[in-house]
Amino acid sequence: MAIHLDHTIVPAHDKEKSAKFMAYIMGLEYGGLFGHFAAVKVDEHLSLDFDNRENFQGNHYAFLVTDEDFDAILGRVQGEGLKYGSSPFAQDDMEINHRHGGRGFYFRDENGHSWEFITHTYIKEEMIG
């Protein structure tokens, strides 16, 4: 049985601005409002549904990407002059990590969310099957 996360709500101070920004960073297209939400379709399974909120805690969103996508995403983060880092506890050391035979980095958006991009999953083989 295949189980996929279909969508998740991403709280934001300005849902359309945040959706457009993350679509740009991830190399995706923002297609406008979808009902109440500013939705960004990540792939055939997942939509990030940005929604306006006044008060919320920052969340963590992690994405497994190809090496090519990693380079492009990191390049856009760097091009925007954003601080990024090699761990959840060092999101501004301007370094990437090389954990689990891959590469990864984190950055925070203006809503306080932590976005992580990795080229190799951290999930151990014995956990999946």
Domain count, the chain: 2
Q: Which of 20, 123, 110, 127 is nearest to 62 (CA)?
A: 123
**pTM (predicted TM-score):** 0.93
Residues 26, 79 within the same domain: no
Q: Domain containing 41: what range?
A: 1-52
Residues 121, 66 within the same domain: yes
The torsion angles phi and psi of 71, rounded to 5 degrees, stand at -60, -45
Report the CATH number at residue 7: 3.30.720.120
Ranges of the chain with pLDDT below 70: 124-129
Predicted confidence at residue 86, as pLDDT, reads 98
Tokens 């923002």 -> residue? 30
Predicted confidence at residue 47, as pLDDT, reads 98
